[in-house]
Each structure stands twice: as C-alpha cells, then as structure tokens.
C-alpha cells in the first residue's frame, strides 16, 4: 500500500514541475505565435483583384476593354430600393448575378474621330478562354458605375471565367473587330 | 502505480548516485536549462531580426514604392493634362513622369510578393499600357492640332484608364502600407514576446535552478546533517544515536561507517562496563574473601557471589576434602535449594578440572556433553563448569546449570572464573593457614597442643577468671624406657599416655605436651582434689591399657596447683612443677598438690593409688626449669 503522504509529495513535485515549466511552455507558444506573423494583413483574394484594362482600336473606335471581379448590377428599381453605393446600374439589358469565378467584362467605346464616349454603338463581346478553349458571347448590357454615373457608360456583363486563364476578348463594334489578350490571375 | 514505482526507482537511483555524480547531474541540468534558455532567446532574437528585416528591407520600401507609384501615376496624369491643355508645353515633363512611374513600377515588381499584390501590379501594368496607348492617340491628336479630340480622349478613355490605374495604385499602396503596419505590429509583438519570453525563461531557469539546488541540497545536505546530528548526539554520550542510511552514495556510506563506529563504541563500552563490573565484583569478592577468616565464611561469600553473578541458575561449589580424593558440595545458590547436584565424585573425574579451564555445555543431550549432566532429569539443561584451583592444584569446581541452549555469557563466565580463582586461592590459603596453625600449635607426635598454645589458653582462662587446676605430669623413668626399649617404644609410650589422658578428660579440659615426657593439664572448674580424682582415673586407665599392650609398664607423676591461688601463670607453673618434684621425691606414680607442699607440712597430699609399684627408685632429680623442653635426666 502506497503511503498517502508519499502520494501527496509526488503530486506536489508534479505540480511544481508543471508550474516551473509552464512559463517555458508559454514562451515557446509565444515564439510560435510570433513566427506566424508573416501572413498578409488583409483578407483579399486574388479573385478580388484579378483583372486588367486594355486598349484596342478599330478603324473608327477606341475600345477600352476591362475585366474585373464580378460586380453587382442593379436595375433602376433596385437602386431606388436598395440604395447601393457601388456596383453598376443597368441602363438596358439584364445582368448576370455575381458568383464564384464570375468576372465583370466591360467595354467602353469611344469614337476615334471625336474622342467621345459612344453609347449607341453596341458592341458584340465574345470571351474566349484559351486555356480551356471555351468561348462565350456576352449578352451586352449598357450600364454605368453607380458612383461615377453617365460618364462611365459602357457595355458588358458578368461572365464566368475561372482563375488563371489566358483570355481573348473579341469586340465587334459596328462590324469593326478588335481583340485583346490577357492573362487572368 | 507504475508511474509511482518508476518515481520511487528514480528517487532511489538518485540517492545511490555518488556526490560527484549528483553534482555533475545538477550542473548538467543547470547547463542544459541555461543552454535551452539561451537557444530560445537566440531564436527570439532571430525572429525579432526577421521582423525588423521585414520592416526595413521589405514592407517599408514596398510601402514607400507603392506610395511613390501612386504619386508617380498622379504625376503622369498631371503632366499629360498639362501638355494636353497647354498648347505650348512639351512632353518632357510627361516623359520624365513616365520614367519615374516605370522605375517605381519595376521596383514594385521586384519587391512585391503575394498573389494579390502581383495581380494588382498586373492590373496596374495593363492599365498603364492602355494609358500609354491612349496617350499616343492623344499625342497624335495634339500634334495634328485636333485639340478637341485630344481633350475628349484625355477626359474620356484616358481618364477611365487612369482612374483604374490610380485606384489600383492606391489599393496597392494601401496594401503595402497595411503590410508595413503589420510588419511593424509583428515586430512589436515579437519584441514584446521576446521580452516576455525572456522573463518566462528566466523565471523557468530560476525555478529549475532553485529546484535543482533544493534537490541536490536535499540529496547531499540532508544526509550530511543527519550524520552531523547523530555525531553530535554521540559526542554528547548517546551511543544509540545512529544516523539514518539513505542511499549508497558517499554520505550513505559515511552514515553506515558512523553507525559501525557507534556499534564498535557500544561494544567497547559494554566491554569496559563489563570489565568495570567484573573488577568491582572481583574487588568485592576479594575484600569479602579477605575478611573471611575461616573456610565456612569463604564458602558463604562464594555462595552469595554465585547468586549475584548467575541469579537464575542453580549453582554449587564442589570442593575436595583434605584427602583431595572426594568432591563434596560445599555451597549452593539459585532457585533449586539442593543445587544442581553434579554426581562427580572426585576432582579428576570432572571434565573442567581435567581441562584446567571453564567448560560450557549448551545442552545435556548433546553428544559432546559432560557425562555427569545426563540422567539429571527429563529436561535438557545447559551447564557451566569452572575448575577451582590453588597453586595450580585442583581443589574443586563451580558448577551451574540452566535452561538448554542458554549458556552463560562470556562476561558471566569471566566472573565465575574470577570467583573460582579467588575462592580457590582464599580457601586454599585458609586451609594452609589452618594446617600451619595446627602444626604450630600442636605436637606432631602426640597431637596435643604444645607448650606455647597451652600457655596462651590458660592465660585466657585466667583473664576470664575461670577456676582451674594446673597439673604438671612426667612419665617416670622415661629415659630408661628409651634406653632399654628404644625410642620407638618411647614414642609409643608417649602416644599411649596421651590417648588415655584425652579419653579421660572433659571437652573443656586442656592437655599439652610440655616437653619431652612432661605434660601439662588444666582442669577447668575443678579444685586440686577433684583434679586428683581425674588423674587417678587416668592412672587406672593407663594401667589397664598397658596391661593389654606390648608396651613396657610405666607410671606418671603429677604436681597440682590451684591456679587461682597463684599471683601469676609463671608462679602457678613453678608451684605445679615443684609439686611434681615432690611427687617424684615421694616415690613417683602419685599426685602432689602444691598447696599442701607450700604449707610446709611434712606430708604433702599424695594420691593413694600406686599402680606402678614396680617402678624403680628415682635416680635423677626433676628439671623444673620453665625454659627447658627436654629433661636430660630420667626421673
């Protein structure tokens, strides 16, 4: 039979050992937490910023083709109802909802002769994913940025494009075609 | 339980380590703790350096570059607006702004890491390229003086591209700034953690050092202190203060050696006490025996000593008689009133006497037990036999019995041996003294007391005012008897007279050989006349004895005096001797009382009994001198 006093002494030794070593354990844990301090301070993903803006010209048009992360597209009623501070206001057409791998492709059409924005020349926008070989033709929507307003009138829509894709966006305005290539991160 | 057993095993092994190993392990533990603490601190310092490097080498320059990029973009746009809106300005400023932007963008490409930042830079790069492409259109329009077109392009697509570029540059600058702030926060956190870790490691190291110190102190100091306490108690006289032995290290062995030393000291002390007790007992026995003036007193001392030395054993002293052939039980002690009852008959039948030293027998049933132990009873006994000697000659044995397998201790055997030696010496000396005294006080031929002893005793009688009649006697014509029949016959005549006289005397009467054929009598409580009657009986008895022996006939003359009427012993002797002379003169074989002779009467009192009428007449006179033992004349 083990003596009670001996058990108490052994327990005291164990507690003392733990008490003595707990600061060391805490210190090692602190080292670990310090070592983990190399991560980016933001919660942005590549998909949140992936995109580009490119320039193309045809005989009569200057095309500014942009691809950005998917943007909410609101109708006038929705804007009146929800009062969003960002996104696109649909002038004509219907927008594709935002979702996974949804990108916002937009084309600003300017006339080379005047340098002005053309709202009436509706382009035909085709997105070719060279990485996958898929091709999708956008249902062009005339829209403008809610914050900028009419100076930002452009055509485009949300479209599904996986990340890390090599793209070709073909724009045809009034029969004049231009293609911009780029890599989507 | 297994953990507990392991703990006990570790503790026992730790106790058994030598002091050197304990110190080694303690210092090794402290060194290890110190090394771990230093390693952790170095690691923390390294992390602190990394955090600092991230600020100085990465996050800081990147934030600066990102901010520069934003400003460079603004500068580019401003320079573009300047040459678009101001007809006379050149593109030099714009070109410089472009160079600055390119350089800054290249710096960012090099320094930027992370997919988000890279994606942003890609966006900026494409936007910048679009900006540059649009700018060529604007420049072309400007150079062709299509100022409206140039302005439209500048405020339309170029603005759109620039805003995209500017937003991305701002976002990149914000991210870089966040990264820098995070790096600074990381540095501060690392610094704080390093500080806290240093405190924690220091506390841990101190705790471990204190623990190791306590443990090593407990393992080294405590056993030493126990030995010290025991030594101090031992120094104060407590020889039972043994040190607790824990472990097999130097201190444990020191405690064990100390305990052995105490054990030896206890043994020595016990030996000294036993020696002291033995010496005291021996001294007491010596004094007691010295005060014993006879053998019985000495035997009483022996009995009491045996009872004191062996109180629970039945003891006896068997001692030889004067013949030295027979052993007799002289004294007993112990619980049995009759003593052990050893049946040994003679000294040389005793094993102890033959061996000349003490012999102990654990069991009477043992094969090598003394044969005299067997048949004592149904129970086994143990026995101790110590020979009693005097001058190297056996004279007895002290015999003690007890329960089986419980022989006396060495100390008890020593004491009994001492008692045996002392008793033998004393009893032997007493016997020698008695023998010498007898020899000095008696006549070897007749066995009667000699003249000096007689004088001493009658002096004692006179001092005690005891009335007695002093008689001087002389065998008539003894010289002629010697000459005629030889000295052997003369000696036999003397012995026969003495034997007859003793037989006719009372126990309190005295008879001594005065010298030669002359004797002295002292009849206590008798007047001379009554003493004459006693002498007459002697005369008759002598005649009867001579008539049946081969001795020649002889007679005895007596001179009597009442000693109480004399002034001194010498006077009494002289007057008795004078009376004897008178008896000789009157024809011998008669008794003459001195009183009558001193009264100057013509006829002194003469015994009427004359048994030796054949005795020849006196030829020579009586020698009455007191100093003469042998009468040269035959009267």
Tens digits of per-residue pLDDT, B364-374?
Answer: 888 888 988 88
Contact A31 B189 (CB under 8 A): no
Residue among A26, A46, A53, A111 with most chain B CBs within 10 A, to mutate:
A53
C-alpha dist (Å) from residue A89 to A98, A149, B39, B157, B160: 14, 9, 61, 19, 17
pLDDT at B627: 33
Which of A23, A26, A54 to substitute to test the interface with B, most B CBs within 10 Å?
A23
Q: Is A20 on the interface with B (CB under 8 A)?
A: yes
At CB < 8 A and 24+ separation, what contacts does B201-206 make?
A: B201/A23, B201/A24, B201/A27, B201/B36, B201/B37, B201/B40, B201/B41, B202/B37, B203/A23, B204/A20, B204/A21, B204/A23, B204/A24, B204/A27, B204/B33, B204/B37, B205/B33, B205/B34, B205/B37
Just give the CATH number of A46-184: 2.60.40.3340
Confidence of residue B56 (pLDDT cuts 50, 70, 90): confident
C-beta atoms of A115 and B203 within 8 A: no
> pLDDT tens for residues A150-185?
889 999 999 999 999 999 999 999 999 999 999 998
B62 touches chain A (CB under 8 A): no
pLDDT confidence of residue A34: 53
Which residues, at least 6 apart from A142, have a Cβ–Cβ distance to it below 8 Å? A90, A91, A92, A93, A119, A122, A153, A154, A155
Which two three-digit tokens encode residue B316?
């006896």
- Average pLDDT of chain A? 85
Nearest one of B498, B573, B501 to B537, comparing CA atoms: B501
B608 or B283, which is more confident: B283
pLDDT of residue A31 exceeding 80 = no
Strands (E), B476-517: 510-515
Going by pLDDT thresholds of 50, 70 and 90, the confidence category of residue B226 is confident
Q: Is the pLDDT of residue B145 over 80?
A: yes
- The answer to whether A2 contacts chain B (CB < 8 Å) is yes
pLDDT for res B469: 94
Q: Which residues in A lie closer than 8 A to residue B51 (C-beta atoms)? A: 34, 37
CATH superfamily of B294-437: GAF domain (3.30.450.40)
Residue A80: band (very low, low, confident or very high) from pLDDT cuts 50, 70, 90: very high
Judge whether A163 is closer than 8 Å to chain B, CB to CB.
no
Q: Give pLDDT, residue B190.
A: 83
Q: Is some CB atom of chain A closer than 8 A to the CB atom of B59?
A: no
pLDDT at A57 over 60: yes
Count of CB contacts below 8 A, A vs B? Answer: 159
CA–CA distance from A112 to each of A172, B1, B144, B435 (Å)? 15, 92, 13, 175
| Residue-level pLDDT at B7 | 66
| pLDDT at residue B599 in the model | 46
Confidence of residue B621 (pLDDT cuts 50, 70, 90): very low
Provide CB contacts within 8 A for B113, sequence distance 6+. Answer: B58
Residue B36 has a pLDDT of 81
Give the architecture-level CATH label for domain B451-598: 2-Layer Sandwich (3.30)
Residue B601 pLDDT grade (very low, low, confident, very high; cuts 50, 70, 90): very low
Residue of B114, B151, B160 with shortest CB distance to A40: B114
Fold agreement (B20-219, B294-437)? no
| Mutation target among B84, B197, B213 for the A interface, most CBs of A within 10 A | B197
- In what helix (H) or strand (E) does residue B178 lie, and over which residues does it extend? helix B159-235
pLDDT in tens, B547-569: 999 999 999 999 999 988 888 88
Confidence label for B577 from pLDDT (cuts 50, 70 and 90): very high
Rounded Cα distance between B62 and B176, Å, is 6
The residue of B7, B35, B42, B122 whose CB has the most chain A CBs within 10 angstroms, and thus the best one to mutate to test that interface, is B122
* Residue B614 confidence (pLDDT) above 70: no
pLDDT digits (tens, 9 = 90+) for B291-344: 988 889 999 999 999 998 888 899 999 999 877 788 899 999 988 888 888 999
pLDDT of residue A4: 54
| Across B249-278, average pLDDT | 87
Using the Cα atoms of residue B603, residue B609, residue B615 and residue B621 in order, give the sign of their dihedral.
negative
Q: What pLDDT, on the 0 to 100 scale, is given for residue A40?
A: 63
Q: Give the closest of B116, B129, B203 to A40, CB-based.
A: B116
CATH topology of domain B20-219: 1.20.120
Its pTM stands at 0.52
Which residue in the set A31, A52, A66 is minimally distant from B197, CB to CB?
Answer: A31
Q: What are phi and psi of B553, to 5 degrees?
A: -70, 145
CA distance B143 to B203: 78
User: Over the stretch B457-504, which tens digit does the pLDDT of each residue have?
Assistant: 999 998 898 899 999 999 999 999 999 999 999 999 999 999 999 999
Give yes or no for a contact between A76 and A89, defined as CB atoms under 8 angstroms apart. yes
**Does the structure show a pLDDT above 80 at B1?**
no
Q: How confident is the model at residue B46 (pLDDT cuts 50, 70, 90)?
A: confident
A115-124 confidence digits (pLDDT tens): 899 988 899 9
Q: Is A31 on the interface with B (CB under 8 A)?
A: yes
Chain A residues touching B219 at Cβ < 8 A: none
What are the sequence ranges of the domains in chain B?
Answer: 20-219, 294-437, 451-598
Nearest chain A residue (CA) to B175:
A42
Per-residue pLDDT tens digits for A132-156: 999 999 998 999 999 989 889 999 9
B44 to A10: CB separation less than 8 angstroms, yes or no: no
Say if residue B247's pLDDT is above 80. Answer: no
Mean pLDDT of B8-31: 79
pLDDT band for position A75 (cuts 50, 70, 90)? very high
Residue B119, pLDDT > 80, answer yes
pLDDT digits (tens, 9 = 90+) for B501-544: 999 999 999 999 999 999 999 999 999 989 999 999 999 999 99
B200 vs chain A: nearest CA distance in angstroms?
Answer: 5
Give pLDDT, residue B204.
81
Q: For B4, which of A10, A20, A115 is closest by C-beta distance? A: A10
Structure confidence at residue B41 (pLDDT): 80
Cβ-based contacts of A117 with chain B (< 8 Å): 156
Assign A72 a pLDDT band (cuts: 50, 70, 90).
very high
pLDDT higher at B283 or B33? B283
Query: What are the residue boundaries of the structural domains of chain A, listed by start?
Result: 1-39, 46-184
Q: What is the pLDDT of residues B375-425, one digit of tens each?
A: 777 788 999 999 999 888 888 999 999 988 788 888 888 889 989 999 999
Percentage, residues of chain B above pLDDT 70 = 92
pLDDT for B620 equals 36
**pLDDT bracket for residue B616 (50, 70, 90):** very low
Q: Are A23 and B175 inside 8 Å of each other by CB?
A: no
Question: Is the confidence at residue B625, as pLDDT, over 70?
Answer: no
């Amino acid at each position: 039979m083990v003596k009670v006093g001996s058990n108490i002494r052994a327990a005291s030794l164990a507690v003392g050992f733990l008490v003595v070593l707990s600061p060391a354990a805490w210190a090692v844990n602190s080292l670990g937490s310090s070592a983990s301090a190399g991560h980016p301070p933001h919660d942005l993903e590549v998909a949140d910023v992936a995109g580009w803006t490119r320039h193309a010209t045809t005989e009569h048009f200057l095309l500014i083709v942009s691809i950005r992360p998917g943007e909410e597209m609101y109708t006038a009623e929705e804007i009146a109802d929800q009062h969003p501070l960002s996104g696109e206001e649909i002038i004509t057409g219907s927008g594709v909802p935002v979702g996974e791998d949804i990108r916002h492709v937009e084309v600003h059409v300017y006339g080379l002769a005047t340098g002005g924005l053309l709202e009436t020349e509706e382009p035909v926008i085709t997105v070719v994913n060279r990485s996958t070989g898929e091709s999708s033709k956008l249902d062009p929507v005339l829209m403008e940025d809610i914050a900028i307003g009419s100076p930002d009138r452009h055509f485009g829509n949300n479209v599904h494009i996986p990340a890390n894709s090599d793209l070709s966006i073909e724009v045809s305005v009034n029969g004049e075609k231009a293609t911009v290539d780029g890599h989507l991160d | 339980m297994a953990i507990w057993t392991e703990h006990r095993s570790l503790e026992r092994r730790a106790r058994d380590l030598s002091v050197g190993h304990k110190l080694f392990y303690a210092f090794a533990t402290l060194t290890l703790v110190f090394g771990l603490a230093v390693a952790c601190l170095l690691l923390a310092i390294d992390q602190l350096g990394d955090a600092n490097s991230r600020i100085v080498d990465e996050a800081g320059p990147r934030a600066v570059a990102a901010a520069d990029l934003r400003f460079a973009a603004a500068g580019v746009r401003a320079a573009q607006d300047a040459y678009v809106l101001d007809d006379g300005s050149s593109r030099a400023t714009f070109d410089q702004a472009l160079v600055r932007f390119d350089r800054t963008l290249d710096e960012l490409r090099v320094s930027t890491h992370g997919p988000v930042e890279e994606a942003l830079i890609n966006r900026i790069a494409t936007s910048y390229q679009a900006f540059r492409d649009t700018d060529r259109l604007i420049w072309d329009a400007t150079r062709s003086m299509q100022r409206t077109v140039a302005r439209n392009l500048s405020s339309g697509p170029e603005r759109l591209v620039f805003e995209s570029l500017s937003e991305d540059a701002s976002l990149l600058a914000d991210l870089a700034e966040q990264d820098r702030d995070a790096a600074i926060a990381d540095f501060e956190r690392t610094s704080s953690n390093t500080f806290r870790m240093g405190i924690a490691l220091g506390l841990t190291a101190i705790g471990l050092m204190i623990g190791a110190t306590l443990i090593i102190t407990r393992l080294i100091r405590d056993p030493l202190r126990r030995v010290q306490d025991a030594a101090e108690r031992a120094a104060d006289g407590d020889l039972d203060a043994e040190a607790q032995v824990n472990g097999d290290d130097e201190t444990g062995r020191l405690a064990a050696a100390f305990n052995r030393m105490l054990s030896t000291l206890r043994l020595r002390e016990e030996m000294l006490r036993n020696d002291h007790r033995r010496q005291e007992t021996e001294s007491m026995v010596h004094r007691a025996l010295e005060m014993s003036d006879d053998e019985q007193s000495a035997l009483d001392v022996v009995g009491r000593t045996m009872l004191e030395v062996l109180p629970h054993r039945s003891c006896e002293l068997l001692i030889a008689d004067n013949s030295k052939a027979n052993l007799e039980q002289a004294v007993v002690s112990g619980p049995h009133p009759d003593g052990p009852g050893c049946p040994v008959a003679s000294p040389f039948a005793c094993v102890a006497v033959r061996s000349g030293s003490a012999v102990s027998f654990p069991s009477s049933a043992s094969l090598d037990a003394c044969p005299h132990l067997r048949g004592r009873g149904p129970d086994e006994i143990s026995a101790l036999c110590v020979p009693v000697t005097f001058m190297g000659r056996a004279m007895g044995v002290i015999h003690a019995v007890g329960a089986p397998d419980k022989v006396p201790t060495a100390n008890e055997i020593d004491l009994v041996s001492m008692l045996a030696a002392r008793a033998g010496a004393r009893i032997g000396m007493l016997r020698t003294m008695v023998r010498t005294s007898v020899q000095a006080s008696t006549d070897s031929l007749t066995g009667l007391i000699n003249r000096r002893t007689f004088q001493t005793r009658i002096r004692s009688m006179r001092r005690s005012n005891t009335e007695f009649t002093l008689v001087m006697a002389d065998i008539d014509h003894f010289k002629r008897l010697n000459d005629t029949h030889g000295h052997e016959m003369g000696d036999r005549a003397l012995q026969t007279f003495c034997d007859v006289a003793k037989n006719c005397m009372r126990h309190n009467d005295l008879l001594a050989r005065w010298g030669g054929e002359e004797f002295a009598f002292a009849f206590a409580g008798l007047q001379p006349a009554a003493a004459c009657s006693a002498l007459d009986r002697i005369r008759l008895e002598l005649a009867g004895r001579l008539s049946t022996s081969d001795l020649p006939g002889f007679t005895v003359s007596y001179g009597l005096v009442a000693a109480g009427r004399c002034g001194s012993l010498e006077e009494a002797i002289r007057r008795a001797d004078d009376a004897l002379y008178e008896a000789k003169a009157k024809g011998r074989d008669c008794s003459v009382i001195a009183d009558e002779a001193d009264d100057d009467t013509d006829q002194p009192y003469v015994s009427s009994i004359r048994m030796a009428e054949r005795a020849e007449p006196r030829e020579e006179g009586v020698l009455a001198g007191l100093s003469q033992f042998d009468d040269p004349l035959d009267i």
